[in-house]
Structure 1
């Protein structure tokens, strides 16, 4: 019996790294009966007679997991968003942040394609960088094309399990190729007419970069809030969670309640109005979603 971590899942096989070796394993039938699916990132116990014929016998408890992409035990999520093509969208960035916060994963914001930054966009990007840094999120601006600020980016990866998230076309694969050229990940150019990149990443795999493990994933194929409850939403906005402790009423939703410390903080400029607007928008979305049976 040996122990290791699943670093890749492909066509029903799980590739388990134990020491310096990688073992090709299948899951035991018992997992199917229990409706447990081994995930990339899982710590497992397995038995094997050689590198090609192993069986996973046990999956250790997970500290967190994502369904799309299917991966477990993540330390941080690097959200890649671009200046243009596709255009920088604070609303979309906040959707990613809320989803990641809801999973107890540390978010980091990378803003790509800084070489394409126009005069008119400089103020906007600078404003939002300050908004997110004030909340406590690390924000890094970079350009793969101009090799700008690439070295600091790789430092985030050291000794961490990271997932790279972001909409298609923002440059997730280009970033990983730059940080580890031997990967040669296929990059999808952005379709000018649709403003969307082609989905190029086919399976989930943890690759070693700068003494850390990184999953290049197909972004989040779903950005809905199906698993977030109304009362949890405020906790997914750290600045709202912080100010909510001063609200007059327990269970304040920060919408129409009197003496709401969150609304006061928005008026005082301590919470960015864009973030509060997005909170209201997501609140309404969760409130009006159809129940699932």
Structure 2
């Protein structure tokens, strides 16, 4: 009977004999094996959620179509700037702030934001969708249009043009299929505004409002400042960014299971999409660093109760409004 080699002494000297035993000791990897292993690890790491973010959102909208999100009934209450001439209609009651919340009043004046800088920028840009419109809104991360189309239905101003973009081509396809899109007052397109190479179809200093509703939270934290600073360049002097997103320790954050946290306060959902949970202070720092002036920065807390199960659930959102100073032009 052949004597069994002591553990640690069975060395593979001839690759052709690799399948003669179940195991070999002290095996060394070559560069090709090392590279292949690194590649496999990368595919299974958090970077895939960044590299393939558009694919995860595409799958999301392919599965849910337009059934997942509802039109935002609170939209004009929270953001009267989106209603005709910035004034809510009788059907959109004014927001009642909770105790401790501070908000600067919104300017009800119709948008007539023009400056030599914005006019020169538009002239040099050439032709673009909505060029002849006096008022221009842009929603980032529009999904299937649950903000865009209520705005278009409510605001009949023929001088209003709305741009909207999303990372998901499937979402934009659903926007294009909406009957309200056919009116020629909207331009929807696929774009990743967190990418430095992103090209938008309008010039800098040309937008009255930029809408960021539950979208910045899907951007990698390391790209958030660059994203906000890049978008701020497209505002006219006096133009605003309207922001609403998840606040720190919202119910959605507390419900995540172990292993779903990619890094501090940044999580991945089951379908591969990501979400970050903000504080007022970090948002203030990013918007001010982008050269914008604070008009509103509040924490909106809501208690939801399950009476049958006797459960209390706390929702936390942060809402901000930041404007581009007039005096800088």
Same-fold call, TM > 0.5? Answer: no
TM-score w.r.t. the length of structure 1 is 0.32
TM-score w.r.t. the length of structure 2 is 0.29
The structure with more radius of gyration: 2
